[in-house]
């Protein structure tokens, strides 16, 4: 497709979970999007406050999670650029790839409150429409955004975070039904998030 209305869902996706997928699907339905592109972030230069799983693992989990939806796709722009990801770079690169597309950047209530402090936020707003989605535990009203800059959308509440998923795996608790089945299996296959502990088995 040449032009089209394209959603852009950026995230660390460490791992991708059903909260991400429901948010993308809901916005696609409400805004009549032709496609939603999931964009896993690049690998941080140095250790930040925690270790982030390798970019290729996060990329593959995102591919696995989105593969069955014909309107979902995954872009490598942030991973291939490397280093910390700035939304202005993501949008600029996607716009080069799809000059005729109308971009809709989808972001959760937690990230919304920081949006004005983003690098080149004004230029971001000129490259894409911004859509803020609700997220359990984070109040949209607290974002203090200037009027007309961001459309706010209520999505079915799924109180799931990647942090919680990682902590569950580390404790040997299940993540079935929080993340897609293929992602559960990929996490196990690659021994992600175990922090050196062998997986706990039933009865241990």
Least Cα distance to 21 among 69, 79, 54 occurs for 69
Q: Is residue 58 at the binding interface for ligand ATP, with CB under 6 A as the rule?
A: no
Q: What x-and-dash track marks residues 138-177 binding ligand ATP by CB under 6 A? A: -----------------x--x-xxxx--------------
Token pair, residue 166, equals: 């990682």
Cβ–Cβ under 8 Å, residues 173 and 43: no
CB of 123 to ligand ATP, least distance (A): 19
CB of 95 to ligand ATP, least distance (A): 20
Q: Is residue 15 at the binding interface for ligand ATP, with CB under 6 A as the rule?
A: no
What would you report as the CA-atom Rg of the chain, rounded to the nearest whole angstrom? Answer: 17
Among 8, 37, 103, 133, binds ligand ATP (CB under 6 A): 133
Among 27, 64, 94, 111, binds ligand ATP (CB under 6 A): 111
CB of 203 to ligand ATP, least distance (A): 30
Nearer to ligand ATP, 128 or 155 (CB): 155
Q: Is residue 110 at the binding interface for ligand ATP, with CB under 6 A as the rule?
A: yes
Binding site for ligand ATP (CB under 6 A): 11-14, 19-20, 23, 107-108, 110-111, 133, 135, 155, 158, 160-163
């Amino acid at each position: 497709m040449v032009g089209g209305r394209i959603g852009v869902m950026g995230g660390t996706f460490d791992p991708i979970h059903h909260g991400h997928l429901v948010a993308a699907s809901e916005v696609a339905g409400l805004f009549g999007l032709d496609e939603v592109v999931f964009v896993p972030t690049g690998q941080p230069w140095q250790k930040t406050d925690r270790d982030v799983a390798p970019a290729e693992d996060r990329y593959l989990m995102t591919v696995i999670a989105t593969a069955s939806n014909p309107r979902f796709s995954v872009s490598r722009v942030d991973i291939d650029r490397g280093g910390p990801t700035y939304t202005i770079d993501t949008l600029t690169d996607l716009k080069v790839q799809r000059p005729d597309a109308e971009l809709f950047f989808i972001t959760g209530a937690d990230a919304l409150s920081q949006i004005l402090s983003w690098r080149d936020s004004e230029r971001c707003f000129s490259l894409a429409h911004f859509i803020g989605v609700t997220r359990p535990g984070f109040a949209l009203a607290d974002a203090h955004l200037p009027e007309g800059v961001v459309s706010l959308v209520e999505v079915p509440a799924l109180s799931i975070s990647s942090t919680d998923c990682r902590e569950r795996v580390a404790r040997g608790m299940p993540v079935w039904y929080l993340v897609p089945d293929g992602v559960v299996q990929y996490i196990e296959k690659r021994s992600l998030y175990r922090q050196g502990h062998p997986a706990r088995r039933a009865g241990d």
